[in-house]
Chain A
Amino acid sequence: DTEVTQTPKHLVMGMTNKKSLKCEQHMGHRAMYWYKQKAKKPPELMFVYSYEKLSINESVPSRFSPECPNSSLLNLHLHALQPEDSALYLCASSQPTGGIIDSPLHFGNGTRLTVT
């Protein structure tokens, strides 16, 4: 069982669609992350929110738009995606310590996204 919940589990969308991925955690963590993972590859960092503020954007294309409405929720808005964006999208949370991270990431089960 995971304490980070992601919805939906699976999503198929066309290149002209707009959709959103959702992530929720109730562990009191104040850092939340989006990762993208292609098959047989490591998770690739996309965005980091720390205390509800975007702290890191790893040069992600603007067709991916993150949002952190509050400390428990993280969204990823998708628009005009390409087939190569098909992947597993993982949300994670941790407790920031104001410096070097020394708390583990807790991952959700991910959303399997297919862009047609």
Chain B
Amino acid sequence: GQQVMQIPQYQHVQEGEDFTTYCNSSTTLSNIQWYKQRPGGHPVFLIQLVKSGEVKKQKRLTFQFGEAKKNSSLHITATQTTDVGTYFCAETSYDKVIFGPGTSLSVIP
């Protein structure tokens, strides 16, 4: 069935360092969404990628969709304590939105 994998599972960084999480699928994805969930909170939509090779930026966040549409990445430049949380990629297929296992980011001040 559908399944996306994410690495790493956990990442601890010093404030100001960069952070990247990777999302990989064994099958071609129609599109991919990214969500962030703060501790104690609910998932919040960040971005959707649809086109092969697409790159989108939101301030310090850069999202990429692979050329083969089988992988995606989220890169955060110069992390801040407000970036703490779990970042999920999610594959979408008609009515389904299936979340990957997530990468939990800790930022050490």
Contact = CB atoms under 8 A, between A and B. Distances in A.
A48 interface: yes
Chain A interface bracket (under 10, 10 to 19, 20 to 34, 35 or more): 20 to 34
B97 A33 contact: yes
Given A100-B30, A100-B31, A108-B42, A42 B99 contact: yes
Given A42-B100, A90-B42, A102 B95 contact: no
Contact of B43 (A45, A100, A105): A105
B50 A90 contact: no
Interface string B80-94: 000000001000111
Nearest to A107: B42
Contacts of B78: none
Contact of A105 (B30, B45, B102): B45
B74 to A, nearest CB: 15
B61 interface: no
Contacts of B94: 99-101
A107 B97 contact: no
B45 A104 contact: yes
**B interface, by DSSP: helix, strand, loop or mixed?**
strand
A45 B96 contact: yes
Chain B interface bracket (under 10, 10 to 19, 20 to 34, 35 or more): 20 to 34
A89 to B, nearest CB: 11
Contacts of B97: 33, 45, 92, 94, 101, 105
A104 B48 contact: yes
B101 interface: yes
B19 to A, nearest CB: 19
B13 interface: no
Nearest to B34: A104
A110 B31 contact: no
Given A43-B43, A107-B44, A100 B102 contact: no
Interface of A: 2, 31, 33, 40-45, 48, 50, 55-56, 90, 92, 94, 96, 99-102, 104-110
Interface of B: 30-31, 33, 35, 41-45, 48, 50, 88, 92-102, 104
